[in-house]
Amino acid sequence: MVLMEIIKYLGDKLAKEINISPPAARGLLKLSIKDELDPFRPLFKITFNELRNVLQNSFKKRLINLEISNYEAIVNHMIIELELNQSLITMAGVYL
Amino acid sequence: MKNIAILGIGSLAFPLGFIVNFVFNMGQVFQEYFVFVGLISVVVFTNMTFYKGRMKKANIILIIAIILGVIQIVLLNLYYPLEIKSDLYYYLRLSLDLPYVLLVFNWLAYSCYLAYRRLKNQDIEPWIKVRYKLIAISSFIISLYPIPRYFQPREIPWGDPTDPISLLIFGITAVIGITYAILLSISWFMPEWMKKYFNKGYKRELEKEFTEEELTNLIKNQLSK
């Protein structure tokens, strides 16, 4: 699934940030998406604004539940990464 | 994706304006409206694709492009019959057309290049990186389009086969246009075999789906190490 690229990218950044494996980080992001949006919504249909809301809401809650102390800084860093690399949503997502 | 729809409309506006003008002889002013739609669509696409959430700088570029586009339309409306006779109006309009086109396409090229630079060492499928490069290169090439027009003899029709300079300039702009069209088409309509070629040697990690419980335990274990 090509649209996974942005999640894969953010997952790699998150893995380095909190010292967990990339698959676990990606899993955390995907579960956060399911919390926030329709769980049956295909990942390739997620927009930039939805992904930003996921990071600000459900993702943040999950970090708090995992007792990660600097969760605010991590959320902010992830939002900056998303904003800087948002073009991946289009560049990896357009299959004509 | 709204941004792709906008880019599509913009890409259609250029040939549509040219064809309608060519068939019905609607005039250069009429064609300029289509050019305006096309160029502004490129800026809107760039802003929507690369700058959501940090639109300040992007909106400044959009406003400058709109102003330069409106100036082109106004100048053509006011002086088009005159500029055929007057160097002043002709070169004034060309001089303002240059920053207009340079700004629009190099804004896209620059944004693509910056994104590519950030992503080139990341674990991303190589064909996607090629798409960034192709769009950046093709946008830069088309941004050079207005430059040869400075050397077009004003009193000689565009591409006149009896005038070597006019013919040469026509040839150069045609090469620029065709190169742009080919590179841009490859970047957006890249065939599957080409994607496979660029992805040669790249291995995608198989994605494991975790249950809620599995993931929580996995992360807690990894965090406690």
ipTM: 0.90
State the pLDDT confidence band at B38, using cuts at 50, 70 and 90.
very high
Q: Is the pLDDT of residue B100 over 80?
A: yes
Which residues in chain A are contacts of B219 at CB distance < 8 A? 20, 24, 28, 66
State the pLDDT confidence band at A41, using cuts at 50, 70 and 90.
confident
Highest-confidence segment of A17-26, A64-73, B35-44, B158-167? B35-44
Rg (CA), chain B: 23
Q: Does the CB of A78 have a partner CB in chain B at under 8 Å?
A: no
Q: Is the pLDDT of residue B170 over 50?
A: yes
State the pLDDT confidence band at A44, using cuts at 50, 70 and 90.
confident
pLDDT at A2: 43
* Residue predicted with more confidence, B204 or B129: B129
Q: Does the CB of A77 have a partner CB in chain B at under 8 Å?
A: no
Contact check, Cβ <8 Å, A49/B189: no
Q: Is A40 helix (H, G, I), strand (E, B) or coil?
A: coil
Q: Is the pLDDT of residue B166 over 70?
A: yes
At B21, list the tokens. Answer: 């003008």
Question: For B113-120, what is the mean pLDDT?
Answer: 96
Percent of residues, chain B, with pLDDT higher than 90: 65
Contact check, Cβ <8 Å, A86/B50: yes
At B9, list the tokens. Answer: 């409309």
Question: For B83-91, what is the mean pLDDT?
Answer: 76
Give the list of residues 6+ apart from residue B71 with CB closer than 8 angstroms, or none: B96, B100
For residue B221, the chain A residue with the least C-alpha distance is: A20
Minimal Cβ distance to B222: which of A12, A20, A92: A20
